[in-house]
Structure 1
């Protein structure tokens, strides 16, 4: 295991050794500005996040709910480019020494150049990529480039995934498995529900990789609930909403830091 995939694996293992789930935060690059997005990632780490996923804003974010779509739209209207996403990774990882992944739809990487993106992400200190819309059957070229550069390839599984499909997806992935807690788009929910627990159980039966749950977690109680059965708790929309609802940038950063602290307490408490 080489590159920052080792940092990612070591971070997840260290949280497990403490008897808790790691907290994984998601924040889009370029929102509210490129510099503001970098500060937001640092704030999430300051508050207690173990890992951060940096979103690569996309014009057709089919899996994202209205909160993240709004942030992506602000970032794209601000002119965010892949170079800015890579700069976000470089500066956030460089300032904290903690694992930073990129979460992106496949089309931007394909257009940018697969080998080029993998090489530049690794050079920036990135730990890997989460690729929610890349079918495993079409992923070999990316996976080879990622392996060559020491990057994790994280695939997404859903409650609708059959057991044979789960096995195929988890066999191809590295780093961890992203378990989408429910069918539908990202966003906060009243309850994360039993679907997620069943999905974690079925996914674990196919892999030794940590199984981390995202979609719908927004507060410490939900984080504690998910930490009771998952190997990691992923939170995105709730962080973005704190920034969208804030009266100014400083208040937004304070909101991110505070939410990370609340969630970090939740994953340590469990339900």
Structure 2
């Protein structure tokens, strides 16, 4: 296996690291190598290309190798970088927040589709994101809804600090508030839209998750209890109480949970139809919506 040595060029180091990651079975080795080399050298893509022929110092090689060792041990690139893009927004991460994933964008898509159908995209909306983590869903929605105000809740104060920092960095801090509580227990009605990506992994399934998830995402953001539905049993009745008539709650669900979550919504007095679900790229129902009946 090609090792990176002092005097190697940036381009050669990137290619050698990609080969090393590929040999270890790491997904997307080319992308990971570019991101890790760029992070070690504080270079963006343009810098990596334009400085590709520059030789590396011994200290720079050591920095790249240290990052490579972390990735080879299963640490996600986003954790190493301390940031992840979601809905086109750069978000800082912390040990108390999940790494935002593309599947979660289905919640944003379904919410915007619902609001657009009701002509509400430019209205003064009140939104809550229960278990906000890094603030990903809430901040994505606020970036698309210029008149909306959002409240993010989380049981983790460090997570709320991360979300608040992301809101500030994106210029959205004047339209956000963050509250420490379990789901919606500290909130008062009314809300037009409530969203959540709660923990939904069955407790017994966590040990089978990829090492990037089970060893690096916060456990309580993964563990959904024995059947994976504990969080929905708590937050769906809370959301039903908080919503305006005609308001919506939209949650992310696991690959086989949509029917159970729909039933919980109906038991809470919410309505659901075939248009109130959005699938991920694999065709799996991923975002589920319940509507509060109009009086």
TM-score by length of 2: 0.29
Structure number with larger C-alpha Rg: 2
**Structure showing greater relative contact order (alpha-carbon pairs closer than 8 Å, 6 or more residues apart):** 1
TM-score by length of 1: 0.31
Q: Higher strand proportion, which one?
A: 2
